[in-house]
Chains A and B, each alone.
Chain A
Amino acid sequence: MDRNRPALNLLKGVVLLAPLLFLVVFFFYPLLSIFAVSLAPEGTLDLSGFTRIFTSDYYRRTFWFTFGQALLSTALTIGLAIPGAYVFSRFSFPGKSLLMSLATLPFVLPTVVVAAAFSALIGPRGLLNQTLMSLLGFSAPPIVLERTLTIILIVHVFYNYAVALRIISSFWANQSVRIEEAARVLGAHGWRLWWNVRLPLLRPALLAASILVFIFTFTSFGVVLILGGPRFATIEVEIYRQVTSLFNLQVAAALSLVQIGFMFVLMLVYTRLQRQTTTDLQAAQSVVRQPRTVRERLFVAANVVLIVLLLIAPLAALVLRSFTSQGALTTQFYTLLSSNPRGSVLFTPPLTAVGNSLVFALATTALAVTLGLITAVLLSSRASRLARWLDPIFMLPLAASAVTLGFGYIIALDEPPLNLRSSPVLIPLAHTLVAMPFVVRSVLPSIRGIPPNVRGAARSLGASPWQVWRWIDLPLISRGLIVGATFAFTVSMGEFGASLFIARPDTPTIPIVIFRLLGQPGATNYGQAMAMSTILMAVCAISFVLIERLRTAGVGEF
């Protein structure tokens, strides 16, 4: 055994370094290349871009708007998701896993499609306004949300609710109920029980979910552009405008750096907070039960209703729209998807698009789960000071805008052995950058929560490190891992920003097909885009159920 140790350690070292190497090659190197070209086009450093953004009122307002709306969106999302997560982790009720599956679907939908769904529901000629007008005799639509901060916040909750719900409830489900019971015995009830016991115990998961939602809404692009309208702009939107329409790389690079720098500081603070609290986990089985009292039933019902109204109603509006033409039900849009009257090269049979999407998504999931898991193990070693700096670094890909990174790829990955800039392989690699932080954030709270004494006991009973990992660590982190895998899969299925900014031969995914259909006028194109969106949701919903099965089949609950 001793003979193998140096080799084993070397292998361990290589494995642990893999995620870092991945990040260096596919994130930092391209990013630094594009920053170098942008900030020193003639070889000398030119920081006029920074001067311009720091002296301008407009950019200051943009920054504060970005920050403020992200803060509000996060507070709203987490606030709504906590009771939901409680329901999902403590109670069993019919349709529970289906509801969880459906609640995750918004995450894969392109913003234009979501905008259409909300318009169909609460737009001036939408369902709600028309009902109110005919019932209550309003002469004008009573609900006017178009182009308001309110609609931005609602849609941010729509997109991110499932992120918070899944992370918090998976953590909660593995948490010991003994402390809570003890608190009850000692007289904590109602809000005191929530405020003094439940929420503090949840802190690691709350922080993890908040930071993800905050980063997502801070870098929000499509929602702000399309639903908020041109009057609102986040830093991300501004980067996009500077790059694509003005080709002002200096200002774009300066804005990108400000965004990344801000995120880094935020992540440092977060990592500090996160390390102060860990709560012990235990395998859960007896925790989930049916709601017994009327209050419990009402509580469950209220949360289910919220999810249905906020998340599922817009999705249902889309599905309905894909089956309606001129007031009548029809399946013509689905039939049209498979016909190519012009013999056009842009035509993609739906199965091909589904196939491409699935291949990219599975590759992304495999890569992101592997690298993310290794990263989480690396970061969970509490002693390491290095981890304190590494943790924020692994989150940075979420803060870099797709358009900047796409340009980085073009100039950095253009020579062998890394001549990948026009290879389809680049798409899952780029998706993995975004997906990996999800896996890390979903798994890390659980890994840190594994009680050391359980591991120690196993070891002293003669378990090998592999056995400890297989029978102690893996079951305890399996929920977190599944959440991470689900989001890795989802990120890849729905993402199309990176695909748009990366040169590619024709491997159209479902979002790209939707985007192409929406780029042409005509009711049938629009109907087909809705049909394709419905297919996207269906494929994802089925996949979520399968991923969830994987956990119960592969690891088992005990």
Chain B
Amino acid sequence: MKHILSLLILLLLAVTPAAAQDTTLTVITHDSFSYSEDVMQSFQDETGITVEVLRLGDAGTMINQSILSRKNPLGDVMYGVDNTFLSRALNADLFIPYESPALADVPEEFIVDDEFRVTPVDYGDVCLNYDVAYFEENDLAVPQSLADLTDPAYEGLLVVENPASSSPGLAFLLTTIAVFGEEGGYTYLDYWADLVANDVFISDDWSDAYYTQFSGSTDSQGTRPLVVSYASSPPVEVYFLPEPPEAAPTGSIVADDTCFRQIEFVGILQGTDNEDAARQFVNFLLSREFQQDMPLNMFVFPVLPDAELPEIFEEYAAVPEQAVTLDIDEIDTNRERWILEWTETVLR
């Protein structure tokens, strides 16, 4: 008995100090979270924190699963909740507030929660992409507003994702709501009815819309030269080519009030035992090193204004001057109704 006890004490002694030094931080995230290995390695070397990444499907699934497991959370930090889902996460009281000192350099427009329960990390604009060659060959002007899209000149040219199943699809629906509103002589539903009359094509997910229906991507079988995608899609389209082409095959339309700005946040989860390590991780995400690593890994833009963009982004990516956003509570309250109304108008 005595032996066992002393053995146990020895074991405890052996284990405890090691546990205090090597903190393991579990980061819950969606399937697209990516970074360069060496950037994360330097963070782990500097802090002694081991970062474990746990993926929970897409952003919506990640938040829903985290809400369900709130009493016994799966991790310490959640990265990747965006402004279309943020309200749902905040209302479920998922996060511990933390005001990172690095926020001082982040522009005001990205700081959505004034209680600092979440910290903005990056943003991306959901914009229309167009097939450059198609518009040149057909001597057609590239549309410059949402209203243009209902012009018979653009009949049968547009592919949009279903907002009920696709994140860019929802963002585009929100853009139309922000632009045309729900009241007055011409509402967003009237606009959608006109889009339907102009033969808009609805795809259920981005991959199908972009690769199978849209004609702009190199080697595409698609027939439609306009698609809802991201402002960063044209540089990415070029980035992966073995040899950079002279002109980009696709472009994004960044005219005022045609794009929706998605901001992604990180938050420290309630119930964590590693709050200090979690704070260091949040600061790390706002460090120049990580911010500059993001564009080529996740094809998003850093929130830090002085983070340098990769050359390919400077050359091929356009950033809208006036992107649309909506209040996060408004999105959360109305999402279901908007999607149902949209479904009634467009699909029935």
Given the complex of chains A and B, what is the CA–CA distance between A346 and B339 in angstroms?
A: 32
Q: Using a CB-CB cutoff of 8 Å, which residues 213-271 of chain B contact chain A?
A: 217-223, 229-230, 233, 236-242, 250
B336 in the interface, Cβ–Cβ < 8 Å?
yes
Segment of B132-140, B162-170, B187-195 in the binding face: B162-170
Interchain CB contact under 8 A, B205 and A345: no
Interchain CB contact under 8 A, B207 and A519: yes
The answer, among A244, A324, A527, for a CB contact under 8 Å with B60, is: A244
* Residues of chain B lying within 8 A (CB to CB) of residue A231: 202, 347
A225 in the interface, Cβ–Cβ < 8 Å?
yes
- Candidate in B67, B237, B240 with the most chain A CB atoms within 10 angstroms: B240
Chain A 376-404 near chain B by CB (<8 Å), digits 1 or 0:
00000000000000000000000000010
Segment of B34-42, B93-101, B104-112, B272-280 in the binding face: B34-42
Contacts known (A125-B221, A244-B60); A229 close to B203, Cβ less than 8 A: yes
Given the complex of chains A and B, what is the CA–CA distance between A525 and B35 in angstroms?
A: 18
Taking the closest CB of chain B, its distance from the CB of A99, in whole angstroms, is 28
Interchain CB contact under 8 A, A229 and B202: yes
Interchain CB contact under 8 A, A123 and B221: yes
A43 in the interface, Cβ–Cβ < 8 Å?
no
How many residues of chain B are within 8 Å of chain A by beta carbon? 67
Chain A 284-312 near chain B by CB (<8 Å), digits 1 or 0:
00000000000000000000000000000
Majority DSSP secondary structure for residues of B touching A: mixed
**Please, which residue of chain B has its CB at the minimum distance from the CB of A238?**
B164
Q: Using a CB-CB cutoff of 8 Å, which residues 69-92 of chain B contact chain A?
A: 69, 72, 74, 88
Contacts known (A123-B221, A410-B74); A225 close to B240, Cβ less than 8 A: no
Taking the closest CB of chain A, its distance from the CB of B37, in whole angstroms, is 5
Given the complex of chains A and B, what is the CA–CA distance between A186 and B118 in angstroms?
A: 82
Interchain CB contact under 8 A, B212 and A522: no
* Residues of chain A lying within 8 A (CB to CB) of residue B72: 414-415
* Residues of chain B lying within 8 A (CB to CB) of residue A505: 52-55
Contacts known (A241-B165, A245-B60, A344-B297); A500 close to B218, Cβ less than 8 A: no
B127 in the interface, Cβ–Cβ < 8 Å?
no
**Please, which residue of chain A has its CB at the minimum distance from the CB of B310?**
A342
Taking the closest CB of chain A, its distance from the CB of B251, in whole angstroms, is 12
B179 in the interface, Cβ–Cβ < 8 Å?
no
B56 in the interface, Cβ–Cβ < 8 Å?
yes
B146 in the interface, Cβ–Cβ < 8 Å?
no
- Candidate in A248, A503, A521, A525 with the most chain B CB atoms within 10 angstroms: A521
The answer, among A243, A325, A414, A521, for a CB contact under 8 Å with B69, is: A414
Interchain CB contact under 8 A, B223 and A125: yes
B210 in the interface, Cβ–Cβ < 8 Å?
yes
Chain A 332-361 near chain B by CB (<8 Å), digits 1 or 0:
100010000011111000000000000000
* Residues of chain A lying within 8 A (CB to CB) of residue B164: 230, 241, 245-246
* Residues of chain B lying within 8 A (CB to CB) of residue A225: 165, 204-205
**Please, which residue of chain A has its CB at the minimum distance from the CB of B241?**
A524
How many residues of chain A are within 8 Å of chain B by beta carbon? 61
* Residues of chain A lying within 8 A (CB to CB) of residue B220: 523
A422 in the interface, Cβ–Cβ < 8 Å?
yes
Interchain CB contact under 8 A, B211 and A500: no
**Please, which residue of chain B has its CB at the minimum distance from the CB of A514?**
B207
A520 in the interface, Cβ–Cβ < 8 Å?
yes
B208 in the interface, Cβ–Cβ < 8 Å?
yes
Given the complex of chains A and B, what is the CA–CA distance between A226 and B212 in angstroms?
A: 10
* Residues of chain A lying within 8 A (CB to CB) of residue B88: 247
Interchain CB contact under 8 A, A500 and B69: no
Interchain CB contact under 8 A, B208 and A226: yes
Contacts known (A345-B40, A521-B237); A403 close to B54, Cβ less than 8 A: no
- Candidate in B36, B221, B223, B339 with the most chain A CB atoms within 10 angstroms: B221
* Residues of chain B lying within 8 A (CB to CB) of residue A115: 208, 212
* Residues of chain B lying within 8 A (CB to CB) of residue A326: 218-219
Contacts known (A112-B205, A126-B221, A501-B61); A520 close to B236, Cβ less than 8 A: yes
B296 in the interface, Cβ–Cβ < 8 Å?
yes
* Residues of chain B lying within 8 A (CB to CB) of residue A345: 34-37, 40, 53
B314 in the interface, Cβ–Cβ < 8 Å?
no
Interchain CB contact under 8 A, B240 and A525: yes
Interchain CB contact under 8 A, B64 and A506: no
Given the complex of chains A and B, what is the CA–CA distance between A245 and B203 in angstroms?
A: 16
Interchain CB contact under 8 A, B221 and A119: yes
Interchain CB contact under 8 A, B165 and A245: yes
* Residues of chain B lying within 8 A (CB to CB) of residue A407: 64-65, 68
Given the complex of chains A and B, what is the CA–CA distance between A524 and B237 in angstroms?
A: 8
B329 in the interface, Cβ–Cβ < 8 Å?
no
Interchain CB contact under 8 A, B219 and A518: no
* Residues of chain B lying within 8 A (CB to CB) of residue A245: 60, 163-165, 170, 335, 339
Q: Using a CB-CB cutoff of 8 Å, which residues 356-371 of chain A contact chain B?
A: none
List 22 contacting pairs A-B, 8 Å CB cutoff, sorted by A.
A37-B68, A115-B212, A225-B165, A226-B208, A229-B202, A241-B165, A244-B60, A244-B61, A244-B165, A245-B163, A247-B64, A324-B219, A403-B61, A503-B28, A519-B31, A521-B229, A521-B236, A522-B218, A523-B220, A523-B241, A524-B240, A526-B211
Cβ-closest 7 pairs across A and B: A523-B218, A522-B240, A524-B240, A346-B34, A518-B207, A343-B36, A521-B233
